[in-house]
Structure 1
Amino acid sequence: MGSEDSPKINITPPEEKVGFSLTKEFLELAFDREVEKFSTKIGTNPGDNYLSIMHAVEVSFKGEQEPQYFMIKCYPNHSERRDLLDQIEVFSKEAFAYQDFLPQLKQLAVEREAEKIVDLSVAPIQAGNVVGIPSKFTLKPWSDENFILMTDIRKTFGFTMADRMKGLDFDHAKLVLEEIAKFHALTWAYKQKNGLDMLTNKYPQFKDTFYIHESLIQDYMPLLDQITANALKLTEEKLGDSHPACKSFKDFVSKDEDKDVVERIKRYLLEEGINEEEVESYLRIKPEQDDNYNREPWLLGTHGDCWVNNMMFLYNDEEPKKPVKVTLVDWQVIREACPTVDLAYFLFSSVRAPVRIPNLDELLRVYHDAFIRYCDALKVAPLPGFTIETLKRRFRRSEIFGLLIGLELLGYALKPPEESIDMDTVKSDQLMDLFATVVDGSDKNTLLQDEISATVLNLYEKGVI
């Protein structure tokens, strides 16, 4: 179909002979339409995407005057990163989310006559290929490459990314929390409709695939040690190493066997759910005894990687512009977990301390009210014992998870754009050396210092650490 001079981009490592180039033939197979012409360019800026590679594609179809815009997500050129993607199965997870599970959720909303209320925003998927799963691409030369082709919602609908350096203000955060609640409520209703105690019983894609991978964790530990040591150094420089919050933080991130950072993170991601008594034992100031407190785990489908780089916003035309819609993207880390894990992940990575700390109760109320509203629309009872008081209690113990994940993500989020790195240009065969280049210099980042020290001080004052 294509000619020798057709424009194309190579999406496989240059040293490998397998895979495919993005050609006219590929696009016509993907869209089942005749392509007049197309052009491609890199789809994201350095610092916006760390696992996969995104290419923006402009396509003119035969007989249509206006071009259409798409994004193709594919494997990076770096062999170690490709191996990581294979091990943690993020492409198969995301393909499953876009092509199977999210459409089921939207259909569920229709069945419950709630589609106008529980209108989950999803980027339209056009085509995809996951190695080992039959598709119309299987018999083609590119059959052993993973990719997802979707509508570019930036060019098509006007969505944009927020500034990861600034973080999200209250209006943005409110919109995101309502969208998270929407997804959570839909997955909870899905479980009830299908009589599922666990989503993972039906869909193994909802199992965590990173923190249970022992060899990856062993490779990851030195980098995490560096990140936590930098965070402690920044906090001590800001507050003074004799400050009780610094002493508490130092003890919190110590290498004692029962306080290992990775082990603590894993306690929030157990397949059977969080052991409330165990994680509350991590708190410096324990909650008051409540014999009526329901410790039954809350388990539903979560996004898993809900931070500012993985969401796109649509704004109104007024001045100053206000966000009116958000679409969550990058469904690569979906997992069944407590909803407070998603909330802590989002609030500690993407809402800076000056906004998050004074508004936390109101932000949790936004989520609580939205979750109740969406469950009501879907004609399903909420999670067992779901009240604003219980949500706050469970979120407080999940602030430990938020802090630990925040330490990892903030080094990336607050890296100045001029210092951002194209990871495919890094000359290293070691995966963790590669990721270490992204957080290099974080011990001198004043924005990072302000954020971490404010968070540590707040959590100390609340008795979390």
Structure 2
Amino acid sequence: MSSDKNFQRWIEKVMSEIIENLGSNMDGARYELSKSTKLITSDQYYVRVQFTSKAKGQSEELSMVLKRALQEKIAREIMCLDSQFHNEILFYSMYARPDENFARCLYTGERPPDLAIALENVNKRGYYPCPYEYDVPLEYILTAMREIGRFHGKGYVMKEQQRERFFNIVKRLRETRYDSTMERFKFLINFVATRAIEYLRDQDHDAIFCDKMEAVLSNAYDTIMMKTVEPVEPLSTLCHGDFTVSNTLFKTEDNGQLRMMLIDFAHMRYSPPVVDLSTFLCLCCSNEIRKDKFFEIMRAYHDALKKYLLDAGIQDIEKYSYDALLDNYKTSGMFGFIIASFYLASIIENMCTNEVRTMVKIEDHVKICKRGGDKISKILADMLLQMKDFGCLERFL
């Protein structure tokens, strides 16, 4: 009952501020919670605000999604929730523009532990979650790659045309995953990164290859993850940082074409594009589609990026060439493989949110990292060999 009372006090306070922020055109505003959803890092509430428009003299309704960070102190610390919410609030308050393809931000609250953000419910605009979490069809992949190309292009344009403002935003970003203090995440990454090697050894794969890659992957956090996220000029831009289908929404336009919207910018960072590209390609695409369509996918990304730059008046685009981006992927594409080694089992095995939220002990995470047995291990082993064929292992072998 106490927690219910605390929630009621919180929601009434937040909604009062939201309604006040929406302006003086609203008369008789009242709100209603239609449903709630538990996410890994937050509780999400769907809210309808009904009011009379003074300008139009008619009843109207505004639908929003209100995210509130988990209240448990240990969960906030383990997942760096204060920093995650800070980054998303920074994105909507300083980076996103009203005319761009993002949800409209209606409220931000950055007073730990009551971290919250309210966004327009874009379901009302026809956007819906991707119906696939893994083995995403090519149509969705190409749409996602074009949109992340435009997103990266936005960063390049601001970096060149509003350099001081751009790097002011970069300086305000907080680290959520990759620094020397995150020993828990480092341990788990290094623990699970060798899963594919263990499978290959059981299949009597080349011992020399396995020995060399095991030496690298057993220290993957430092040798791959930390090195990849470091800025590399001139390619570094503002990256989403967690570019997966779970952080995308799609809609079908009147002409039948798909359109995508990015959401959840908690892990936004200043890094090379490979951070986003390799994450999506390794975590969301099957080995088969990546093998057969890799260059088509990368070309779709670069064409969208190039068009965005040219439309914005950027003339010197050779430094963002297709070959430069491919070289970046070849050098650092193993980043996505490590992400997949850590998260793919949870996605394919449909791990529920409540299960994740109750994982406090490191042993719980270790069990999750090994889910799926040989099925997942084989996918990761085939992925690793595919990375070898792409040339992504040359610096390690």
Q: Residue 41 of structure 1 aligns with which residue? A: 35
Query: SS of the residue aligned with 1:254?
Result: helix
Given that 1:130 and 1:146 are in contact with CA atoms closer than 8 Å, whether structure 2 keeps it comes out as: yes
> Which ranges of structure 2 fall in alignment gaps of 5 or more residues?
21-25
How do 1:375-454 residues align onto structure 2 when only pairs under 5 Å count? 375-383=309-317, 385-416=319-350, 419-423=351-355, 426=358, 429-430=360-361, 432-433=362-363, 435-436=365-366, 439=368, 442-444=371-373, 446=375, 448-454=376-382
The match for 2:147 among 167, 179, 204 is 179
Q: Residue 96 of structure 1 aligns with which residue? A: 90
Q: Which runs of 4+ in 1 moved over 6 A?
A: 15-19
Q: Residue 285 of structure 1 aligns with which residue? A: none
Q: Residue 158 of structure 1 aligns with which residue? A: 126
Q: Residue 300 of structure 2 aligns with which residue? A: 366
- What is the Cα deviation at residue 390 of structure 1? 2.3
The match for 2:192 among 220, 227, 238 is 227
Query: SS of the residue aligned with 2:261?
Result: strand
Q: Which amino acid aligns with 2:126?
A: G
Given that 2:87 and 2:174 are in contact with CA atoms closer than 8 Å, whether structure 1 keeps it comes out as: no
Instruction: Using structure 1 for the length normalisation, give the TM-score.
Output: 0.73
Q: What is the CA–CA distance in structure 1 between the aligned matches of 2:117 and 2:354, rounded to whole Å?
A: 21
- What is the Cα deviation at residue 191 of structure 1? 1.3
The change in CA–CA distance for 1:203 and 1:256 in structure 2 (over 3 A counts) is closer
Instruction: Using structure 2 for the length normalisation, give the TM-score.
Output: 0.84
Q: After superposition, what is the alpha-carbon deviation per residue over 1:289-348, rounded to whole angstroms, capped at 9, x for unaligned? A: xxxxxxx54121111111110001112579xxx652101000111111112222112211
The match for 2:10 among 21, 29, 33 is 21
Query: SS of the residue aligned with 1:211?
Result: coil
The match for 2:205 among 232, 243, 249 is 243
Q: What is the CA–CA distance in structure 2 between the aligned matches of 1:343 and 1:350, rounded to whole Å?
A: 11
Q: After superposition, what is the alpha-carbon deviation per residue over 1:174-231, rounded to whole angstroms, capped at 9, x for unaligned? A: 11111111111111111111234x944554234644212x332x12233224422444
Given that 2:128 and 2:251 are in contact with CA atoms closer than 8 Å, whether structure 1 keeps it comes out as: yes
Given that 1:19 and 1:144 are in contact with CA atoms closer than 8 Å, whether structure 2 keeps it comes out as: no
How many positions carry a matched residue from both structures?
383
Q: Is 1:75–2:97 an aligned residue pair?
A: no
Query: SS of the residue aligned with 2:128?
Result: coil
Q: What is the CA–CA distance in structure 2 between the aligned matches of 1:99 and 1:299, rounded to whole Å?
A: 22
The match for 1:122 among 102, 109, 114 is 102
- What is the Cα deviation at residue 56 of structure 1? 1.8
> Which ranges of structure 1 fall in alignment gaps of 5 or more residues?
1-9, 108-119, 132-142, 275-295
The change in CA–CA distance for 1:435 and 1:391 in structure 2 (over 3 A counts) is same
Structure 1 or 2: larger helix share? 2
Q: Residue 352 of structure 1 aligns with which residue? A: 286
Q: What is the CA–CA distance in structure 1 between the aligned matches of 2:127 and 2:221, rounded to whole Å?
A: 36
Q: Residue 23 of structure 2 aligns with which residue? A: none
Q: What is the CA–CA distance in structure 2 between the aligned matches of 1:255 and 1:463, rounded to whole Å?
A: 16
The match for 1:56 among 25, 30, 46 is 46
Given that 1:40 and 1:56 are in contact with CA atoms closer than 8 Å, whether structure 2 keeps it comes out as: yes
Q: Which amino acid aligns with 1:73?
A: K
The change in CA–CA distance for 1:65 and 1:233 in structure 2 (over 3 A counts) is farther
- What is the Cα deviation at residue 166 of structure 1? 3.5
Q: After superposition, what is the alpha-carbon deviation per residue over 1:149-175, rounded to whole angstroms, capped at 9, x for unaligned? A: 111112x12212123444322111111
Q: What is the CA–CA distance in structure 2 between the aligned matches of 1:66 and 1:235, rounded to whole Å?
A: 61
The change in CA–CA distance for 1:411 and 1:190 in structure 2 (over 3 A counts) is same
Q: Residue 181 of structure 2 aligns with which residue? A: 215
Q: Which amino acid aligns with 1:186?
A: K
Query: SS of the residue aligned with 1:121?
Result: coil
Given that 2:170 and 2:270 are in contact with CA atoms closer than 8 Å, whether structure 1 keeps it comes out as: no
Q: Is 1:149–2:115 an aligned residue pair?
A: no
Q: Residue 324 of structure 1 aligns with which residue? A: 258
Percent identity among equivalent residues?
A: 15
Q: What is the CA–CA distance in structure 2 between the aligned matches of 1:250 and 1:308, rounded to whole Å?
A: 34
Structure 1 or 2: larger strand share? 2
Q: Which amino acid aligns with 1:43?
A: T
Query: SS of the residue aligned with 1:21?
Result: helix
- What is the Cα deviation at residue 28 of structure 1? 3.5
Given that 2:142 and 2:297 are in contact with CA atoms closer than 8 Å, whether structure 1 keeps it comes out as: yes
Given that 2:106 and 2:118 are in contact with CA atoms closer than 8 Å, whether structure 1 keeps it comes out as: yes
Q: What is the CA–CA distance in structure 1 between the aligned matches of 2:370 and 2:5, rounded to whole Å?
A: 34
Q: What is the CA–CA distance in structure 2 between the aligned matches of 1:395 and 1:187, rounded to whole Å?
A: 19
Query: SS of the residue aligned with 2:89?
Result: helix
Query: SS of the residue aligned with 1:55?
Result: strand
Query: SS of the residue aligned with 1:215?
Result: coil
| RMSD of Structure 2 on Structure 1 (CA) | 3.2
Q: After superposition, what is the alpha-carbon deviation per residue over 1:265-294, rounded to whole angstroms, capped at 9, x for unaligned? A: 111112xx24xxxxxxxxxxxxxxxxxxxx
